[in-house]
Amino acid sequence: MTAGPYSPVLEVAVRRLVVISGQVAVDLEGHVIGDSIEKQTIAMLPCAGHLASAGCMLSDVFKVNIYFVDLGHWARFNAVYEEAMPEPLPVRTAVQAILLPGYLVEIEMWAVRAKG
């Protein structure tokens, strides 16, 4: 049992490690996307495109670090995150942090590319 949508422990067979640097809800012109935790989370989770560029999918993610401006957003973030992430859910760390102005959450993902 966990306090949120994540696995407490995962064992992964590593051939190729793929790490996505912290992602925020930003458009191509550098503007913040969304003014709520839900909108910003939805805008960030397409980081699946970054994963795809490395030959991975969300199902290949085994570790996620989440940085919240306010840990009070935990439950609302989890509601969106849980809908997007496939089982087995990655192990996670979530902390409160100071982010750039306007951003409510930042996410970093670690994945394993099984082939290639």
Residue range 75-93, pLDDT digits in tens: 999 999 999 999 999 999 9
Residue 103 in domain: yes
Residue 74 in domain: yes
Q: What's the pLDDT score for residue 18?
A: 86
Q: What's the pLDDT score for residue 32?
A: 95
CATH code of the domain in which 70 resides: 3.30.1330.40
> In sequence order, what DSSP letters do the residues of 81-108 get, joined into one string?
HHHHSPSSPPEEEEEE---STT--EEEE
Q: Summarize pLDDT for 89-108 with one digit per residue, the tens.
A: 999 999 999 999 999 999 99
Segment (H or E) for 79: helix 74-84
- What are the start-end ranges of the E strands in the chain? 16-23, 61-68, 91-96, 105-113
Distance CA 109, CA 84 (A): 14
Whether 36 and 79 have beta carbons less than 8 Å apart is answered as: no
Q: Summarize pLDDT for 6-56 with one digit per residue, the tens.
A: 777 777 677 788 888 889 999 989 999 999 999 999 998 877 788 888 888
- Residue ranges making up the domain that contains 33: 16-113
Residue 9 in domain: no
Write down the pTM of the prediction.
0.84
Per the listing, tokens 């394993």 go with: 112
Residue 69 in domain: yes
Total domains in the fold of the chain: 1
